[in-house]
Amino acid sequence: MPSRTTISPALREWILATTRAGHSVADVLQLMKDSGYDPRQSRSMVAEVLKLPLAALHASTGHSLPSLRTTHPEAPAVSVDGHAIDVLLSVDAPLVRLLDGVLTGAECDELIELARPRLQRALTVDNHGGQQVDQRRTSEGMFFGLDELPLIGRIEQRLASLLGVPADHGEGLQILHYLPGQAYEPHYDWFDPDQPGFASVTAAGGQRIASVVMYLNTPALGGGTAFPEIGLTVTARRGSAVYFAYETGDRSSLHAGLPVQRGEKWIATKWLRERPYRSPAKR
């Protein structure tokens, strides 16, 4: 079945009949993908037929994003775990949401102080699922284990409720510290299936499907997150976060941590996987 840009009457009726029969939106999207439809066009068509905002169709997995469905600038804040979270910016290709109020100031300060004594040269995932020094990343960092502390577990559950992705699909929360001049050059968070070791790195929970970058402080100057393919730069602001979803090979999800020009930058990053995640050390 070829990729299409319009919805035929037959396809519209099939989508409606399939969902009425009890199949989930994820099932419908997978069936369309198996039949040859482009995944992005499929999401747009299903959203139109079922009268769902596009943000409700999560890239790759079909998980709904119930708390992010309301993105109108005048809409009230979303309440999650007692937090009023505003969606300040919405982009659909790639799917990017700028969220305000994800963390409180006290939570930001506590994360920084918990991480500070454990900082070391920040590493990236190598082709075998381990850690390696990457010259593109010049910051210091550390990882918390899943649900390692009450604060970590509380934040993980908040993100799960907000994004509609189970907490156990997330990798351990990483804290990164950038000083003036330090940055993370443009890169993708998904794992390249053409690289050696792809099977090893995805054995821990499948492919990465989304990222959440939470800002723990406001740098004096610089340190934002840039998406060069779409001409978007997100300003780092304490307590806010940028969420972005992607599919394998999605070049539009290219992003970079811009250099800190003055002051310092602290962020907490959470990567989400297709399936429940278990770190290599626990497999």
Amino acid 98: pLDDT: 93
Task: Answer for the pair 78, 158: CB distance below 8 angstroms, yes or no.
Answer: no
Amino acid 200: pLDDT: 92
Kindly report the three-state secondary structure assignment for every residue of 33-72.
HHCCCCHHHHHHHHHHHHCCCHHHCCCCCCCCCHHHCCCC
Longest distance between any two alpha carbons in the chain, whole Å: 61
Cα distance between residue 167 and residue 45, in whole Å: 29
pTM of the model: 0.73
Tokens at 196, concatenated:
């050696």
Residue 17's DSSP bridge partners are none
Tokens at 60, concatenated:
């790759």
Amino acid 119: pLDDT: 95
Q: Give one DSSP letter per residue of 80-121, joined into a string.
A: ETTEEEEEEEEEETTEEEEEE-SS-HHHHHHHHHHHGGG-EE
pLDDT tens for each residue of the chain, 283 residues long: 333 357 888 898 898 888 877 777 778 888 888 888 887 778 778 877 877 644 445 544 443 343 443 334 444 578 887 788 988 888 888 889 999 999 999 999 999 999 999 999 665 555 544 555 455 556 899 999 999 999 999 999 999 988 888 999 999 999 999 999 999 999 999 999 999 889 999 998 999 999 999 999 999 999 999 999 999 999 999 999 999 999 889 999 999 999 999 999 999 999 999 999 987 655 4
Amino acid 80: pLDDT: 85
Amino acid 90: pLDDT: 86
Amino acid 132: pLDDT: 52
